[in-house]
Amino acid sequence: MAKKRSSPVTELSQIIPAPATPQPITETIEKNYMPYVMSVIVSRAIPEIDGFKPAHRKLLYTMYKMGLLTGARTKSANIVGQTMKLNPHGDAAIYETMVRLTRGNATLLHPFVDSKGSFGKQYSSDMKYAASRYTEAKLDSICHELFAGIDKDAVDLVDNYDGTMKEPVLLPTTFPNVLVTPNVGIAVGMASNICSFNLGEVCDGAIALLKNPKASTDRILDLIKAPDFSGGGLIVYDRDQMRRIYETGQGSFRIRSRYSYDKAENCIDISQIPYSTTIEAIRDSIAALVKEGKVKEITDFRDEIGINGFRLTLDLRRGTDPDKLMNQLFKLTPLEDSFKCNFNVLINSVPRQLGVVDILKEWITFRIECVRRELRFDLKKKRDRLHLVTGLGKILLDIDKAVRIIRHAESDDQVVPELMRGFGIDQVQADYIANIKLRNLNKKYIVNCIQEMEALKQDIAEIEDILADDLKLRAKVATQLAEIKKKHGQPRRSQLIFASDIPEVEEIQAVENYPVRLVLTKEGYFKKITFQSLRGNDEQKLKEGDSINQIFDAENRDNLLIFTDKAQVYRVAVNDFDTTKASAMGDFLNAKLGMEKDERPIFMHVQNTYPEGENMLFVFENGKGVRIPITAYVAKGNRRKLTGAFSDASAVVGIFYEVEKNPFELMLLTDADRAIVIKSSLIPIMSTRSSKGNTLISLGKKEKRVTEALTDFTQRFGDAKGYRKYKIPAAGVLLNEKNIDTMQLSMDDTL
């Protein structure tokens, strides 16, 4: 018999289900999405008022229950395994949580885990932590402040995920840990980024609010000056900006790296970097700048992290100004970074954005309730003990009667009821008394019982007094904070600098560097000549009647100080001038630098840095001379011209550059053909540029002025033996070619 085929319509109806009832998207979000959102916000990403996320709290409480607050370290793997009883999210996540809390990772100002082994570093993305089977840990001593009162009903305990054990909803932190421990969390639709503050300052701020709940934001700003980071750094401080963060919980501030310049090694050592960046990010950024040719002052850089801590070293080219270079690197690399504050905190499981002042107020409310619950716990314990001791006191009034009752009782079950009837005590008291050993009922025991009763009554009265007075509760919290500051307080690691104190240093341009020869003429013409050009023709073309004043070699990235006869100095870069040929006249400096009409340059010197122990030496027509420290010519910002470079009381006849370690001999010539030779070290150093100096050579009646000051005089005047003087002022000696007696002796020697 043939099988009957089903119709196509019937088959399609079986395959395609009936259309579902339309569901509004708002209802879908409310039923399916919002539970997930709230779970992430409340149970994962946003910290509570105790300063911890659930993962932190579960880990620390597990370690506390393991006895690691006072015991020896144990393997991290053991801790991770035990924590899974409260946190079933996997061992890797738990261990990463613990790593951040360790002393070895250097994330926190006050680490909660005392660690042994490699736990990586917060400031390095390349330094990885070792596996949990290799490292060991225990709770740090500051954790005593986290768990104080947890066994006295200070906070609520709830069942864990499978109902096998209890865990705290919050930790009863005795200090505002929510501001001391940095926290970053990304939830759904919101995030939290809380920076750390100095523990001592936070305690002071909380004490101020405990004493005066209406204390102003400015008062708190005076106590809690600014955030403080474990990695240090320099916070660019703006009080108005910081006030907004303290009031609203939102805002940002800049953090700069801290560095020092090693002159001997010609390198910059960076010892602290912003908390929000890593050494690898800085290193990669600098490498990119060097590769692109934007920064050519760095010849090498290396990471020198070791047992002594963090350090990044930059080797510099000769003549590089380290401050100018760092100014450029601050702008182009994460050596200066911003920290964006977003203080989202859970208050009673509700996310709220609060400023520093409001967070402290919420913590005070939380902490007062913890203390109140501890006191109630202690009060109940003491009342229960007093109740027992009071019943015992009634028995002790007639111990013989109590003994008779116990002895004549027909069974153990009759002892407690008979004691209750015989002394008018309740069952709890009678049961306690029945369990006391007969040997304890001696005179000393009776005396101690009476004393304990009085002490209990006094303690109960004190606790009741504190519980009844909110001011005394606040005073108790303030006392605890003062003790914590004294015990755990540390100096600030992040120092403050003001934006107004940061010098505006001109940015270093990507300037090509190459050797050049510089020429300055008597008439004020300047030439910058490449050595390649000098190979073809090195004969210098000069204006008629002109002559060369100075000629020396330098580099294109060098800076120059050019002194003029009007007691002014100009700061210029060699790169500011175009290269020319020896056969050209060069740049006329009077026009190039915008000098006065009759002003003339008389001395130039390469000056890239301004170290101590180096001086400018000036000799004047009136026979006086002075040394001025080169540090007196440091100028802030982009000033190219300094007036009053030296005294204009008398015309200058010689300008020299001197290094105190290497003094030189100087010959002074007068218009009467007399001369002296002295060491530059004899000339006094004056701190002000306008100093007129001291007399070096005494001018006679026929002498009006000093005409020349020379350092290369031997070829022209021979041995300086007859002219050398060791004290100033000194009288001039007639030049040999003008001295008849000397000339006669020379002729006799020839004959």
Has residue 726 been placed in a domain? Answer: yes
pLDDT at 408: 86
Residues counted in the chain: 751
What secondary structure does DSSP assign to 427-452, as a single string? HHHHHHHHTS-GGG-SHHHHHHHHHH
Which sign, positive or negative, has the C-alpha torsion 365, 369, 372, 378? negative
**Considering only CA atoms, which of 669, 725, 729 is closest in space to residue 696?**
729
Task: Determine the Cα–Cα distance for residues 639 and 171; give it in Å rounded to an integer.
Answer: 59
pLDDT, block means (10 residues), the chain with 751 residues? 48 57 75 74 84 94 95 94 90 94 94 94 89 96 95 94 92 96 87 95 96 94 96 93 95 94 92 92 89 82 76 88 89 92 93 95 96 96 93 84 86 88 90 84 81 92 94 96 96 91 61 86 91 79 88 89 92 88 88 89 90 91 93 74 90 92 91 91 91 90 88 83 88 75 46 42
Task: Determine the Cα–Cα distance for residues 435 and 343; give it in Å rounded to an integer.
Answer: 57
CATH of the domain at 426: 1.10.268.10
Please tell me whether residue 715 adopts helix, strand or coil conformation. Answer: helix
Tokens linked to 6: 């089903």
Active site residues: 134
Tokens linked to 535: 């190979």
Which sign, positive or negative, has the C-alpha torsion 373, 376, 377, 378? positive
Count: domains in the chain: 5
Assess whether 448 and 483 both reside in one domain.
yes
Q: What is the SS3 string spanning 558-596?
A: CEEEEEECCCEEEEEEHHHCCCECCCCCCEEHHHHCCCC
Has residue 21 been placed in a domain? Answer: no
**Considering only CA atoms, which of 364, 274, 174, 348 is closest in space to residue 356?**
364
**Considering only CA atoms, which of 637, 621, 615 is closest in space to residue 689?**
615
DSSP state of 29: I
Task: Determine the Cα–Cα distance for residues 185 and 183; give it in Å rounded to an integer.
Answer: 7
Assess whether 619 and 583 both reside in one domain.
no
Question: Is the separation of the CB atoms in 77 and 132 below 8 Å?
Answer: yes
Last residue of a domain, one of 172, 195, 226: 172
Tokens linked to 569: 């100095």
State pTM to two decimals: 0.66
Assess whether 596 and 620 both reside in one domain.
no
Has residue 425 been placed in a domain? Answer: yes
Question: Is the separation of the CB atoms in 582 and 541 below 8 Å?
Answer: yes
Residue 606 neighbours by CB under 8 Å, 6+ apart: 319, 552, 554, 558, 559, 560
**Cis peptide leading into residue 351 (ω within 30°):** no
Assess whether 391 and 454 both reside in one domain.
yes
**Considering only CA atoms, which of 515, 461, 502, 512 is closest in space to residue 636?**
502
pLDDT at 745: 46
Assess whether 619 and 750 both reside in one domain.
yes
CATH of the domain at 291: 3.30.1360.40
Assess whether 149 and 262 both reside in one domain.
no
Question: How many C-alpha atoms does 527 have within 13 Å on its Cβ side?
Answer: 28
Which residue is it, tokens 């089977």?
133
pLDDT at 746: 46
Assess whether 529 and 459 both reside in one domain.
no
Residue 723 neighbours by CB under 8 Å, 6+ apart: 667, 675, 676, 677, 717, 733
Q: Which residues pair with 210 in a beta bridge?
A: none
pLDDT at 292: 77
What would you measure as the largest C-alpha separation in the chain, in angstroms? 160
Task: Determine the Cα–Cα distance for residues 555 and 608; give it in Å rounded to an integer.
Answer: 11
Question: How many C-alpha atoms does 238 have within 13 Å on its Cβ side?
Answer: 12
Assess whether 157 and 77 both reside in one domain.
yes
| Identity of the residue numbered 83 | T
Assess whether 370 and 311 both reside in one domain.
no
* Domain ranges, residue 472: 364-488
Question: Is the separation of the CB atoms in 120 and 127 below 8 Å?
Answer: yes
pLDDT at 630: 92
Task: Determine the Cα–Cα distance for residues 730 and 503; give it in Å rounded to an integer.
Answer: 45
Has residue 695 been placed in a domain? Answer: yes
| Identity of the residue numbered 125 | S
Q: Spell out a b/e string for 352-369, using b for 16 or more CB atoms within 10 Å of the CB, else e.
A: bebbbbbbbbbbbebbbe
User: What is the phi/psi pair of residue 181, to 5°?
Assistant: -100, 125
Has residue 505 been placed in a domain? Answer: no
CB atoms within 10 A of CB 375: 20
Has residue 1 been placed in a domain? Answer: no
H-helix segments, 41-173: 54-65, 76-83, 91-101, 144-147
| Identity of the residue numbered 683 | I
pLDDT at 751: 42
Assess whether 453 and 515 both reside in one domain.
no
Has residue 343 been placed in a domain? Answer: no
CATH of the domain at 134: 3.90.199.10
Please tell me whether residue 243 adopts helix, strand or coil conformation. Answer: helix
Has residue 299 been placed in a domain? Answer: yes
**Considering only CA atoms, which of 552, 556, 553, 548 is closest in space to residue 575?**
556
Question: Is the separation of the CB atoms in 593 and 622 below 8 Å?
Answer: no
Task: Determine the Cα–Cα distance for residues 697 and 676; give it in Å rounded to an integer.
Answer: 7
Assess whether 604 and 620 both reside in one domain.
no
Assess whether 386 and 469 both reside in one domain.
yes
Last residue of a domain, one of 113, 147, 172: 172
Which residue is it, tokens 């008629």?
544
Task: Determine the Cα–Cα distance for residues 317 and 266; give it in Å rounded to an integer.
Answer: 8
Angstrom distances, CA of residue 323 to CA of 219, 330, 338, 690? 36, 10, 21, 28
